[in-house]
């Protein structure tokens, strides 16, 4: 099956700092999503981004499908950004594979 | 106006019992999923249904039986619960497999 690797596994930032999270995947995919799991356990959709670049406020994401990676950028981080960020990829059969996540801690 | 809802939110039970978790989505999607998140936060797909038909069945013990009475509902029944079944179970839905998925709030199952 598809392998999904996220880096770094853990990240600690001061409020206001910027960061880049990476997701590498081992095969062609039809779908790539970024999720934020907040400290209450909710999985929040950030981006549906099989290819290209999208921006939503302080967050943006870029997927280069031909090179099998995606990046999530967080600018001017806030304490509410803390949590686990997951990348998930899916084939056209609909089977999703999640990465192990990046745990982000933003300190005030 | 919750998009994907699950009940119950918490479930505490004894080993050997049988329990069910219910999921409903009001997004009009035709595909629904069950995922398991273990204590290390790893998320893994268990099942997927498209229009009430099982299309993905990962290597899950047959004590787990999903049932989809219609395309808006996907329930998960677990027989003879074991300690290792303790986890958070998430339901999700999408329009056709492989498209953007939306997740429910999760059900935290604790087996004592």
In the predicted structure, residue B1 carries a pLDDT above the cut 70: no
Among residues B71, B67, B75, B65, which one has the least CA distance to residue B50? Answer: B71
- Name the DSSP class of B28: -
Half-sphere CA count of A49, side-chain side, radius 13 A: 23
- Characterise B85 by phi-psi region: left (phi > 0), alpha (psi -120 to 50), beta (else): alpha
Domain at B4-111, CATH homologous superfamily: Immunoglobulins (2.60.40.10)
Residues in Cβ contact with B9 at an 8 Å cutoff, skipping those fewer than 6 apart: B105, B106, B107, B108
B20 alpha carbon, distance to own chain's centre: 10
Structural domains of chain A sorted by starting position, each given as residue range(s) with its CATH number in brackets: 4-107 (2.60.40.10)
Of the pLDDT bands very low, low, confident and very high (cuts 50, 70, 90), residue B105 is: very high
The domain locations on chain B are 4-111
Q: What is the mean pLDDT of each run of 10 residues along chain A (108 residues)?
A: 95 97 94 95 96 97 97 97 96 85 97
**Signed CA dihedral, B57, B101, B108, A98: sign only:** positive
- B85 CA: distance to closest CA in chain A (Å): 18
Q: How far apart are CA A75 and CA A97, in angstroms?
A: 27
How high is the pLDDT of residue B51? 85
**A94/B44 touch (CB, cutoff 8 Å), yes or no:** no
> Do B66 and B75 touch, CB atoms closer than 8 A?
yes
A97 or B99, which is more confident: A97
Chain B residues near residue A84 by CB distance under 8 angstroms: 41
How high is the pLDDT of residue A78? 97
Nearest to B98 among A91, A98, A100 (CB): A91
Q: Out of A101-105, B7-11, B52-56, B69-73, pick the least confident.
A: B52-56
CB contact A94 to B (< 8 Å):
yes
Of the pLDDT bands very low, low, confident and very high (cuts 50, 70, 90), residue B40 is: confident
Nearest to A84 among B41, B88, B106 (CB): B41
How high is the pLDDT of residue B57? 85
How high is the pLDDT of residue A82? 96
């Amino acid at each position: 099956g598809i392998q999904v690797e996220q880096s770094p596994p853990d990240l600690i930032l001061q409020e206001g700092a910027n960061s880049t999270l990476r997701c590498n995947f081992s095969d062609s995919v039809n779908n790539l999503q970024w999720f934020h799991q907040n400290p209450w356990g909710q999985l929040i959709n950030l981006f549906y981004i099989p290819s290209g670049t999208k921006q939503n406020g302080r967050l943006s994401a870029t997927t280069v499908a031909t090179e099998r990676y995606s990046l999530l950028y967080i600018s001017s981080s806030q304490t509410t950004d803390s949590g686990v960020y997951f990348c998930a990829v899916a084939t056209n059969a609909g089977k999703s594979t999640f990465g192990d996540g990046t745990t982000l801690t933003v300190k005030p | 106006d919750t998009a994907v809802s699950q009940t119950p939110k918490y479930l505490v039970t004894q080993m050997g019992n049988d329990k069910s978790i219910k999921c409903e989505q009001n997004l009009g999607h035709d595909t629904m999923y069950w995922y398991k998140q273990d204590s290390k936060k790893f998320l893994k797909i268990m099942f997927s249904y498209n229009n009430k038909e099982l299309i993905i069945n990962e290597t899950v013990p047959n004590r787990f039986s999903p049932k989809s009475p219609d395309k808006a509902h996907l329930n998960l029944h677990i027989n003879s619960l074991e300690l290792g079944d303790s986890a958070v179970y998430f339901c999700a839905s999408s329009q056709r497999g492989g498209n953007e998925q939306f997740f429910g709030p999760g059900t935290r199952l604790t087996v004592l």
